[in-house]
Amino acid sequence: MTHLKTGIYKIKQIFLAIVFFGVIIAVGQPFCAAKEVKLDYRLKWLFNTSVAGDIYADAKGFFAAKELKVNVKEGSPEKNAIKELELGYADFGVASADQVIRALSKGAKVVVIAQLFQVNPMQWIYRADKPEIKVPADLKGRNIGVTFGGNDETIMNTLLARAGLLKSEVKITGVRFDFTPFFKRKVEVWPVYRNSQGVILKTRLAKEGEDVLFFNPADFGIKFVANSVVTSQSMVEKNPDIVARFLTALLGAWEAAMAPENEAVCLEVVKRLDKGNSDEIRQKQLVVTRTLIKPADNIRIGTIDVDAWKQTEAIMLKEKQIKKAVFIEKHLILP
Amino acid sequence: MLFRRIYQFLIVYCVGILFLLMIKYAFSLSNYVIPGIGGIIEIAGQVAPTYIYDVFNTLSVTILGQLISIIMAFTVGIAGRKSSWIGSFIKVTAYNIQAYPIVALAPIIFILLGDGFLSRLLIASMICYFPLLLSVLGVMAAPVRDIEHFYIVTGRMRWQLEVKIRAFENLSKLVTVIAGSATLAMAGTIVAEFIAADAGIGYGIRIALYQSDLAKIFVALFLIGIVISIYQGMLETIGENIKSKWSISKGDMLL
């Protein structure tokens, strides 16, 4: 009988303990959740190595460490981060400089808080058995691929103008994602994103015994800014703390992702989302991405190159992509 | 018929634009997200000459593509109307080809034909022909027993006569389907131009999208809508004329 009473007493104690902890957890949960801020972050492109830092920030808890719950959303050609900021579908996003400047020229209230690519990955690939392009004037007489309406067209136009070449002195061919004209040698110089398509093409042609070279407009003084992190003007004004936490977490993750000692971990987290490429391709892509995101040890990831932004705006003005100056430097949030 | 088509389109287009403008002003969206009416008019002034040429370029491919798809649909439909092995094989092949998404087939088409006129024509025909085929198969596979019986029992039935009887008895249905397929042919051509071509309004839309220029898209949509309304209205008018002529001749025959 005594044993039975003791048993019942113990069960009561356990039950009370469960209720007590249950109440603590239930009461405590809203307070914990209240601290965590939910954000949407729209990337510019599909999940692959060129967004390694963004994936790394999510996978390795950089956002969580800053009490942020960030939904990192894959981009695509149809998606536009700046429009999503305005429509409230995203809180932060990645956009190219031409997108930012064009949006500002049409009244969008967007600001740049970090510049991810220090070197524009938009470059041109050509076969090594063709004469090397040492100076822009070497483009004379070549069949050059450009995406009509894309920023590579703007860059090429600027390059040709600087080289003093008329459009009639080269052959410009409109291109898309299908590389067949390049493989068939119909188009000699083909625009690629150096760290993604460039790596794939180089590897593929190497297997056919062909070597390739890349033509980088930045080597000839054309600084056209690529992907940058953007947010709305109101976000910066109303929630500077969230912006600071987001940026610290994101850039910290990019630094970690680009560190050679973290390469294996970085490739592992990218692999989870990028199923379309082989391990070999992803590794090569990461090596090239590193040179574009952090070209030198003394360059801090995210550094906004104001001169490059001004030059991008000047190019767009000259190419009549925008009607009047937007004074881009006023929309760059420097640390 | 023609004018009704045009003003109906104008109503739909204006309602759509007004709806978007309401959203723009209700949520204070910038011209980057939804352009204002002034911006649309300004852009229309700039791009209209180019886009009008592009739309007619697309329309020329559309008409050719539709013509090819009509010929294809009638050929396959007539050949496949019998429940023979060949007939069922043709049907299955036709269904299977249609089941593949055109964006997956497009790269193969472009490798074989390049990214010019022929690719646009083929894709336009492929998108347009299947609904036509279904209708033609439906018409050609359904016997008109009252009339056909007479020719069968008198031993005068030939396949050409069978096809004529069935087409004649379902003329109204065939005309409606052919007129309706014009929109599909147009859509197919635009898709082809969007995926890979260096001409046509689909190509213009693609460039506008690269530049996130919605005003240009509105102008392009307006021109596409007007042109397709006129074309479809014309097809319907021709169809009505053919139907009334055939009805008269049918009446004469009965008399």
Question: pLDDT tens-digit profile of B179-191?
Answer: 888 888 888 888 8
Q: Do B211 and A149 touch (CB under 8 A)?
A: yes
Neighbours of A239 (CB within 10 A): 17
CA–CA distance, B170 with A1 (Å, rounded to integer): 94
CA–CA distance, A96 with A103 (Å, rounded to integer): 11
Q: What residues of chain B have any CB closer than 8 angstroms to a CB in chain A?
A: 27, 29-33, 35, 39, 107, 110-111, 115, 195-196, 198, 206-212
In chain B, which residue's Cα lies nearest the Cα of A321? Answer: B211
User: Quick one: CA torsion of A284, A99, A225, A231, rounded to 10 degrees?
Assistant: -90
Please check the confidence at residue B239 and state whether its pLDDT lies above 60.
yes
Q: Do A107 and B32 touch (CB under 8 A)?
A: yes
> φ, ψ for residue B115 (rounded to 5)?
-105, 45
The dihedral through the CA atoms of B246, B251, B254, B255 has a sign that is negative
Burial of A124-161, coded b for 16+ CB within 10 Å and e otherwise, reads bbbeeeeeebeebeebeebbbbbbbbbbbbbbbbbbbe
pTM reported for the whole predicted model:
0.78
Asked whether A205 and A179 are in contact (CB, 8 A), the reply is no
User: How many residues in total does chain B contain?
Assistant: 255
Q: Is A107 on the interface with B (CB under 8 A)?
A: yes
CA–CA distance, A257 with A260 (Å, rounded to integer): 8
What's the order of all strands across the beta sheet hosting A122-127? A190-193, A122-127, A212-215
Residues linked to residue A111 through DSSP beta bridges, in sequence order: A231
Which tokens in the block code for residue A225? 């800014």
Q: How far is A95 from chain B (nearest CA, A)?
A: 12
Say what the pLDDT of residue B254 is.
47
Say what the pLDDT of residue B103 is.
72
Could you tell me where the DSSP H helices lie in A239-334? 240-258, 263-273, 279-293, 306-318
Q: Is A121 on the interface with B (CB under 8 A)?
A: no
Say what the pLDDT of residue A213 is.
95
Q: Which of B32, B35, B110 sits opposite A178 (nearest CB)?
A: B110
Domains in chain A and their CATH numbers? 37-119+225-287+297-306 (3.40.190.10), 122-220 (3.40.190.10)
Q: Is A154 on the interface with B (CB under 8 A)?
A: no
CA–CA distance, A101 with B9 (Å, rounded to integer): 35
The dihedral through the CA atoms of A161, A166, A219, A77 has a sign that is positive
Residues in chain A predicted with pLDDT less than 50, given as ranges, are 1, 27, 29-33
Say what the pLDDT of residue A25 is.
52
Say what the pLDDT of residue A32 is.
46
Q: Do A106 and B30 touch (CB under 8 A)?
A: yes
The ipTM of this complex is 0.75
Asked whether A23 and A223 are in contact (CB, 8 A), the reply is no
Optimal mutation site among A82, A83, A84, A186, interface B, most CBs of chain B within 10 A: A83
In chain A, which residue's Cα lies nearest the Cα of B203? Answer: A148
Diameter over CA atoms, chain B: 77
Say what the pLDDT of residue A6 is.
58
Angle at B221 between CA B219 and CA B224, to 5 degrees: 110
Diameter over CA atoms, chain A: 106
B124-151 confidence digits (pLDDT tens)? 888 888 878 878 888 887 788 888 888 8
Tell me the one-letter amino acid at A160.
Answer: L
CA–CA distance, B255 with B249 (Å, rounded to integer): 10
Say what the pLDDT of residue A189 is.
95
Say what the pLDDT of residue A30 is.
46
- The H-or-E segment that residue A325 falls in is none
Asked whether B189 and B123 are in contact (CB, 8 A), the reply is yes
B187-212 confidence digits (pLDDT tens)? 888 888 887 677 889 888 888 887 78
Domains in chain B and their CATH numbers? 53-254 (1.10.3720.10)
Q: Do B29 and A150 touch (CB under 8 A)?
A: no
Residue numbers in B near A174 (CB within 8 A): 198
Please check the confidence at residue B229 and state whether its pLDDT lies above 70.
yes
Asked whether A260 and A291 are in contact (CB, 8 A), the reply is no
Say what the pLDDT of residue A93 is.
96
